[in-house]
Amino acid sequence: MRVRSVGIDLSLQSSHRAEALDESGQQCGHLSFRTTPQGLEALAQLCTQSGDRLTVVMEPTGLAWLPIALFLRASFPQAVLVRAKEQKVVGLRRFLGGSAKSDRLDAITLAKLPLLDPEHLVPLVLPCPQIESLDRLTRRRDRLAASIGSRKTRIAALLLGWFPGLWDCFEDPWNPRARWVYRRKLNPFQLEKLAPGQLQQPMHRAAPGSSEALVAREALALRSWARQCAQVYRPAWQAGLLTQGLLSTWQQEVVLELDLLEQEEAQDQQLREEIQELYQRVHPHGELNTIPGIGPRVGPLLLAAIGDVHRFPSAKALRQWAGVMPRSHQSSHTQRLGLGMTKEGPPRVKRALYQAAHYARIWDPEMGAIYYRQMVELGKTHKQAMGVVMSHLL
């Protein structure tokens, strides 16, 4: 009997389990292997018995699927590779094995999917190396942006808690002048004794292109804040509840967070340059950027996540993959149509589409007005405009 499908239960640390089924759904082979040359050779021998029709189903477990998928694609170009959805696998496993669970049962469950539900299996498409590189870079930058946001939230919480009112002294609390103050002049008892010039000169050196009038206003605001903050803390200072050592400890913690923040910001800038250089190579004509709201940040992310758009047979399939689908609510003689988000799809794609719709409404009034009118007619907010943006991708 020829092998019709192979289910592979992956493991990050122990051996993988492969189960092979024939055309009638009967087991015709099994294998326990690791991602080693010998293990992959044994897997190839199992798959060689399939002839021209072979479907290999894997459930995504970290990145353990990638070396095996690359090996199978290179060794068996005609084989259909599938990454099964976890919810579907769990439901089928409960049907087949009840409460039992084992690597063997998981592998058999995966192998049965092509026989039981072939029309809903989405083939795994391995992107070209450049798109894969772009995907890894955009993922890294996405994580870095989240870390930078968390770091800024942490610094803001420290400053707003320990030094109330300091945040309001600056036009932009993250500008170089503000950061210089956070690093060096957080002691209000020392700051209130400084003359305006003693503040203005180093603040101007911290941001050479700054307006002298702006620097002067911020310096005056800082001295006023220092007097008020010192007055707030003076009773605690006199009672020995607040000391120079404690103030220094506070400032050291802020400086440490600032150092980490600026390291991440430097990495983010480097990533931005690498992403743009690679994006221009793989997408030289820039068709994505012609969609209102899609720019140098959202464009590379969407291209990397979607890959080859032709792998989707229709716009509906693309929207379904992204988790942005039309929905309707009918009751009696009334019917409301709208756009909704499902649990499917990469979260970063949904965030990118939201940003695209939001920026289009802000920076492109004409197209933004179209988006907004469509959303108003549907009774939705502009957050749902991501569905409208997604419809432009095909």
Q: pLDDT grade, residue 372 (50/70/90)?
A: very low
- Range of lowest pLDDT (2-11, 148-157, 264-273, 305-314): 305-314
Closest by Cα among 7, 59, 53, 10 to 28: 7
Beta bridge partners of 329: 336
Rg (CA), the chain: 29
Summarize pLDDT for 61-87 with one digit per residue, the tens. 788 899 999 999 999 988 889 888 777
pLDDT for 375? 44
Quote the pTM value: 0.77
Q: Does residue 338 surpass a pLDDT of 60?
A: no
Q: Which residue has the higher pLDDT, 258 or 108?
A: 258
The span from the CA of 274 to the CA of 114, in Å, is 40
- Tell me the residue ranges of DSSP E strands in the chain: 3-9, 16-22, 27-33, 55-58, 80-83, 324-331, 334-341
Specify the pLDDT at position 134.
Answer: 94
Is residue 392 predicted with pLDDT exceeding 90? no
CA atoms within 13 A on the CB side of 240: 0
**Sign of the torsion angle spanned by Cα atoms 271, 273, 278, 284:** positive
Confidence of residue 348 (pLDDT cuts 50, 70, 90): confident
**3-class DSSP assignment, residue 83:** strand
Q: What is the DSSP letter of 127?
A: P
Contacts of residue 105, defined as CB under 8 A and 6 or more positions apart, other chains included, come to 93, 96, 97
Q: Which contacts of 340-346 are long-range, i.e. CB under 8 A and separated by 24 or more positions?
A: 340/384, 341/386, 344/320, 345/321, 346/305, 346/322
Choose between 386 and 117: higher pLDDT. 117
Look up residue 355 and give its two tokens.
Answer: 């940003």
Q: Given this model, what pLDDT does residue 289 score?
A: 78
Hey, is 132 helix, strand or coil?
Answer: helix
Q: Which tops the pLDDT comparison, 198 or 53?
A: 198
- 8 Å CB contact between 181 and 222: yes
Quick one: pLDDT at residue 322?
Answer: 79
